[in-house]
Amino acid sequence: MAPATRPDPAQTQSAHDRVYRQLRTRIMHGEIRPGQALTLRGIGAEYGVSMTPAREAVRRLAAEGALSLSPSGRVSTPELSAERIEELAALRALLEVELASRALPRAHMALLDRMEALNGAIAEAIVKQDAVAYIRLNLEFHRMLYLRAQAPAMLAMAETVWLQLGPTMRSLYGRLNRTRPPGGHRLVIAALRAGDEPGLRLAVRSDVTGGLRLILAGDAG
């Protein structure tokens, strides 16, 4: 009788990384709504992997606050309380204002032109009512600038906040019923072109917290 073959650890790790990264991106971009239930079996089937890499990916995402695990083993995207949304909005303001400030000396004209073009793509996503594209492009607008800060640890922290907020941002998009790009983006670009650090800090803070404040105001009303 031939001995049972064991899974190749390298292949298992590769599968785990692939599932983790793809599922993480989906959550960050709002493809999965708040409170949506997931199963390890469903994740494994969707990504063509066994239960082991699916479980490891879920555990890693739960550690980042992107998924909730109940004692019974139920997996879901978290439904954030008003207090949690307020806390994450404050974190965005602290981290992203600092990232933008550090990026300002390295924000060359070619970068600003790319940010202008990306803002145009955001406008197209809004016209098409494509919530996922809107969230993805909006985050890319910010990431494009923050990469110039050369502060990878700080950017990683900001991306973890984006990850935790992804499903909530999807709900926010529906409430806002946008018809044009966020005005804060234009103010961010204008401050960058003028080399206006105080104006840039104010524009970024307003842009990253404004929508979340609308959620809190709506929940309180």
Band of residue 70 on the pLDDT scale cut at 50, 70, 90: confident
Residue 3 has pLDDT above 70, yes or no: no
Domain with CATH 1.20.120.530 in the chain: 82-220
In the chain, what is the straight-line distance between the N-terminal and C-terminal CA atoms, in Å?
Answer: 70
For the four alpha carbons of 17, 20, 26 and 28, in that order, the dihedral sign comes to negative
- CA–CA dist 129, 209 (Å, integer): 22
Residue 4 has pLDDT above 50, yes or no: no
Q: pTM score, two decimals?
A: 0.87
- CA–CA dist 87, 66 (Å, integer): 15
Tens of pLDDT, residues 111-162: 999 999 999 999 999 888 888 999 999 999 999 999 999 999 999 999 999 9
What pLDDT is recorded for position 82?
Answer: 87
Are 100 and 188 in contact by the 8 Å Cβ rule? The answer is: yes
Tens of pLDDT, residues 29-67: 999 999 999 988 999 999 999 989 999 999 999 999 999
If you ran DSSP here, which 8-state letter would residue 75 be given? Answer: E
Write down the CATH number for the domain with range 82-220. Answer: 1.20.120.530
Give the fold, CATH level 3, of 9-76: Arc Repressor Mutant, subunit A (1.10.10)
